[in-house]
Amino acid sequence: MERADAARNRAALLAAATDLIRERGIDAVSIDDVAASAGVGKGTVFRRFGDKAGLIQAVVDSTAASWHQAASLEFRTAGEFAGQLFDHVLASLPLVIAVERTSVRSCEGNFQLTVDRLARVVGSTFNAHALLAVLRGEQIAFLLDQGMTADEIRAGVISLADTLSAGV
Amino acid sequence: MERADAARNRAALLAAATDLIRERGIDAVSIDDVAASAGVGKGTVFRRFGDKAGLIQAVVDSTAASWHQAASLEFRTAGEFAGQLFDHVLASLPLVIAVERTSVRSCEGNFQLTVDRLARVVGSTFNAHALLAVLRGEQIAFLLDQGMTADEIRAGVISLADTLSAGV
DNA sequence: GTAGCAACCGGACCGACGGTCCGCTTATTG
DNA sequence: CAATAAGCGGACCGTCGGTCCGGTTGCTAC
């Protein structure tokens, strides 16, 4: 059982980390920032979450009932999958980028599952990875930065998914 | 005119950096490592190359007559382009990953040019970016890590490029 | 209520890193 | 050979992720 003060600190840290990452991006957020913003000592962060990656993972887990849904979602067509994942990524871009930079993709567990299911729809494991590569936070942020609109990217992603499915 | 000792040091630093990055990957190579390995002081690295990104850029520029060729290559079909760029990336994976991590893609100058030319062949700017995303060093390293062979990836990339071209 | 204990806390501390600075050295030129 | 500017190296700095430990506090058993 977690002590009451510990639970309070965990919640404060998660909230602080989520806000800071959302507004500044992971690169501009240090652990000290998060600790100070949550009003706790630095040691507390590491006792709760182990390391920076653990904190980010916890943030991600906490901010989304929809998170694991988005990755392991049931879908009929590749286009449907692409559209839904895109919306999810776009809505939490800084968080997605943070987790991409800190965790190893293959460790996600249901990531493999998603790849396999997707592979069946788009014809090959390679194509599944290709589609997921285009849906990465950093890729989408880059395209937005290049001046593409979210709608254009969304349409492109779905079109790509459909094209890949069509070849099956 | 560059002094003789300066030129010697520049060459030694480039060689040391190239070797270290190739064998360890950029993440395990610090500026101090490069300086020590080249037998010069740390300050010399920064006077020559400005910062870490500058050093990596210089390494990349020096190691490839084929480098800018690969990116701005003339090509007839998207598949041809994909195959050639893949071979180039695969041959210098750690270097490619290093430059991806340090430089901003859009600054590359002829990157824009490549995107535009490619866009004409694969139907849209979005598709051009998608193809390039799949050809990034980190993506290819990830797929290799997943157990895919280089041949499989090469085939996948070319097939993807051809599929995109076919829809035009 | 209170005593005792384990869990918890915070911030001083550490090593590594990218980057700066400056007093000394050395290649170059006339 | 003398003068000078370019170059040199490594001590130094601020920041970051991560560790440690002496003091504190929430919980429980009596």
Nearest to B12 by CA among B67, B49, B65, B51: B49
B5 CA → D3 C1’, Å: 20
DSSP annotation of A146 reads T
The structural domain count of chain A equals 2
Same-domain status, B136 and B71: yes
pLDDT given at position A64: 73
Nearest-Cα residue of chain A relative to residue B153: A126
Same-domain status, B44 and B70: no
Q: Which nucleotide is nearest to B4 (CA to C1')?
A: C27
Residue numbers of the domain that contains B155: 65-166
Q: To which H or E segment does residue B91 belong?
A: helix B78-91
pLDDT of A67 strictly over 70: no
Mean pLDDT of chain B: 92
Same-domain status, B37 and B107: no
Beta carbons of B168 and A164 less than 8 angstroms apart: no
Tokens of A128: 């599944």
pLDDT given at position B68: 59
> How far, in Å, CA of A106 to CA of B142, rounded?
9
pLDDT of B69 strictly over 90: no
pLDDT digits (tens, 9 = 90+) for B70-114: 555 678 899 999 999 999 999 999 999 999 999 776 556 678 888
Same-domain status, A71 and A149: yes
Q: For residue A156, which residues of chain B lie inside 8 Å, CB to CB? A: 124, 126-127, 130
pLDDT digits (tens, 9 = 90+) for B125-137: 999 999 999 999 9
Residue with tokens 């254009």: A152
Average pLDDT rounded to a whole number, residues A75-103: 94
Q: Is the dihedral of CA A60, A118, A155, A160 positive or negative?
A: positive
Domain boundary among A38, A63, A88: A63
Nearest-Cα residue of chain A relative to residue B137: A133
Same-domain status, B111 and B70: yes
Q: Is residue B76's beta carbon less than 7 angstroms from any atom in nucleic acid strand C?
A: no
pLDDT given at position B64: 72
Burial track B103-121 (b if 16+ CB lie within 10 A, e otherwise): bebeebeebeebbebbbeb
C-beta neighbour count of A4 within 10 angstroms = 8
Amino acid present at A147: G
Same-domain status, A79 and A152: yes
List of residues 6+ apart from B3 with CB closer than 8 A: none
Same-domain status, B44 and B69: no
Beta carbons of A135 and A86 less than 8 angstroms apart: yes
Confidence of residue A70 (pLDDT cuts 50, 70, 90): low
C-beta neighbour count of B11 within 10 angstroms = 12
Domain boundary among B38, B63, B88: B63
Instruction: Please provide the DSSP assignment of B94-162 as one string.
Output: HHHHHHHHHS-GGGGSHHHHHHHHHHHHHSSHHHHHHHHHHTSHHHHHHHHHTT--HHHHHHHHHHHHH
Domain boundary among B63, B83, B105: B63
Same-domain status, A15 and A28: yes
Same-domain status, A22 and A72: no
Provide the CATH number for the domain around residue A23: 1.10.10.60
pLDDT given at position A14: 98
> How far, in Å, CA of A167 to CA of A164, rounded?
6
Instruction: Please provide the DSSP assignment of A79-145 as one string.
Output: HHHHHHHHHHHHHTHHHHHHHHHHS-GGGGSHHHHHHHHHHHHHSSHHHHHHHHHHTSHHHHHHHHH
Same-domain status, B80 and B148: yes
> How far, in Å, CA of A136 to CA of B145, rounded?
18
Q: Which of A130, A142, A159 sits opposite B105 (nearest CB)?
A: A142
Same-domain status, B33 and B87: no
pLDDT given at position B103: 79
Nearest-Cα residue of chain B relative to residue A156: B126
DSSP annotation of A5 reads H
State percent of chain B over pLDDT 70. 92
Mutate to test the interface with A, among B27, B163, B164, B165 (most CBs of A within 10 A): B163
Largest Cα–Cα distance in chain A?
Answer: 57
3-state secondary structure B37-61: HHCCCHHHHHHHHCCHHHHHHHHHH
- Ramachandran bin of B75, using left for φ above 0, alpha for ψ from -120 to 50, beta for the remaining angles: beta
Same-domain status, A39 and A90: no
State percent of chain A over pLDDT 70. 92
